[in-house]
Structure 1
Amino acid sequence: MKVLIAGCGRTGAALAVRLSAEKHDVRLIDHEPRARNLLPPGFPGHFRAGNAFSRPVLEAEDIEEADAFVAVTSSDNANIVSARIAKETYRVPSIAARIYDPRRADIYRELGIPTVASVRWTVSRIHQMLLHRELIPELAFGNGETLLVRSPLPPYLKGRRLSAFDVDGEIRVVEVTRAGRSFVPLRSTPAEPEDLVTFAVDATALGRLRGFLNKEWGT
């Protein structure tokens, strides 16, 4: 995965190191050249000093080929502008932005930009959003250890009991929206086409849930 990160502060640098260790292609942009000093010696990614919402700078880092764009500068305005450019101009598939002022949350939401608050689990939260972008959490508890995730069920699961998704300590079906009506399912409730299901998920089990949703059971 090719990831562009706008902002090489503590969050951006930590996220870049984590993604690089997983062999992703990471590009960092920061207006302050000295920000590169937060990266460890031998960092395999690329750092560019420049404005993260400058199109020449973004294109120099091949944003047209990016799979994800993360805006974690120290400015909400810069994060909004750069994330919006990445989403609307370059059609980057996965976008995430850090937010400092919660009053701006509605702005991000209206633009379709997932956000994380300025708290200690920011890096883990963004990491989850990038690698499991089809399973964006609706709500997080504690420091992000437990998540609420909503997802439509694939057609091939029609007729299977929703309780078959339950994995003790990891995944639990807690709600279903069917034909516009929400309800708490019984253990015997079968899945129907176009069900929108809410899962309570341990953050470490997002990959397992994605596997359940992306391939037919037993394969």
Structure 2
Amino acid sequence: MRVIIVGCGRVGSTLAVQLAAEGHDVHVVDRCPKAARRLPDSSRIRFHEGNGYSRAVLEAAGVEHADAFVAVTPGDSSNIVSARTAKETYRVPNVLARVYDSRRADIYRELGIPTIADVRWTVHRIHRMLLHRHLSPDISFGNGETVLHRSELPAYLTGRRLAEFDVDGEIRVVEVTRGGHSLVPSHSTTARPGDLVTFAVATTSLGRLRGFLDKELGT
């Protein structure tokens, strides 16, 4: 995945390092050339000096071929302008923006741009939204290391014991809503059509959970 990150502060640089370590190609944009010192020497990270809403700078960073765009500068206005440029001009499929003033969050949402508040778990939240946007968590805990995710089980999993979906230390089924009623599953509880299942899952295992929901376990 090619990701463009506008803003090379603590959040932007940390996110860039994490994504690069996972094999993604990352292009970081910042007005201050000294900001590049926050980044390691990596073949998967490229630094671009300039404004995140400059078309010339964005095109140099490969925005026309980007899979995701993240705006995390210290200014809400800069973030929304650069995010809108990526979304509306270059049609980047996954655009996120950091927001400091919560009153502006509604503006972002009206524009179809998900926002991330200025809290301790910002990097974890952005990372999860970039790579697992189809697994939107209902609740997150700590600094975002563990989340609760609810999903209707695919039909082909009907009849399987819910305990089979547990992965020690990574994924656990903690609740099932069935016919409008909630229950805590026992070891022998089997999946039925229409079950809405709540998983407690480590953020690092979201990809594995997605695999469980996309295809039959063990295949």
1:37-65 Cα deviation digits (max 9, x unpaired): 2223x233211112212233222222121
Decide whether the 8 Å contact of 2:158 with 2:190 is kept in 1. no
1:4 offset after TM fit, Å?
0.5
Distance 2:131 2:201 in 1: 15
| Map 1:148-187 → 2, pairs under 5 A | 148-160=148-160, 164-167=164-167, 169=169, 170-174=171-175, 176=177, 183-185=181-183, 187=185
1:205 offset after TM fit, Å?
2.5
Decide whether the 8 Å contact of 1:29 with 1:49 is kept in 2. yes
- In structure 1, the residue corresponding to 2:218 is in which secondary structure? coil
* Structure-2 change in CA distance of 1:161 and 1:43 (3 Å): same
Distance 1:110 1:151 in 2: 26
Distance 1:112 1:153 in 2: 28
* Structure-2 change in CA distance of 1:138 and 1:58 (3 Å): farther
Q: State which drifts further: 164-173 or 66-75.
A: 164-173
Distance 2:68 2:56 in 1: 18
Q: State which drifts further: 152-161 or 112-121.
A: 152-161
Taking structure 1 as the reference length, what is the TM-score of the superposition? 0.81
- Paired residues in the alignment total 214
* Structure-2 change in CA distance of 1:174 and 1:97 (3 Å): farther
Decide whether the 8 Å contact of 1:175 with 1:199 is kept in 2. no
Distance 1:196 1:83 in 2: 34
Distance 2:109 2:172 in 1: 26
* Structure-2 change in CA distance of 1:57 and 1:143 (3 Å): same
Distance 1:56 1:100 in 2: 27
1:71-110 Cα deviation digits (max 9, x unpaired): 1111122222222332333332323222222233333333
Show structure 2 runs of 5+ residues with no match.
none
Decide whether the 8 Å contact of 1:30 with 1:50 is kept in 2. yes
* Structure-2 change in CA distance of 1:144 and 1:189 (3 Å): same
Q: Partner of 1:29 in structure 2?
A: 29
| Map 1:138-217 → 2, pairs under 5 A | 138-160=138-160, 164-167=164-167, 169=169, 170-174=171-175, 176=177, 183-185=181-183, 187=185, 188=189, 190-192=191-193, 197-217=197-217
Q: Partner of 1:74 in structure 2?
A: 74
Decide whether the 8 Å contact of 1:2 with 1:26 is kept in 2. yes
1:124-158 Cα deviation digits (max 9, x unpaired): 22222222222132332222122132445434334
- In structure 2, the residue corresponding to 1:218 is in which secondary structure? coil
1:121 offset after TM fit, Å?
2.6
Distance 1:103 1:182 in 2: 35
Query: Structure 1 residue 20 and structure 2 residue 27: aligned?
Result: no
Q: Partner of 1:43 in structure 2?
A: 42
Aligned-residue Cα RMSD (Å) equals: 2.7
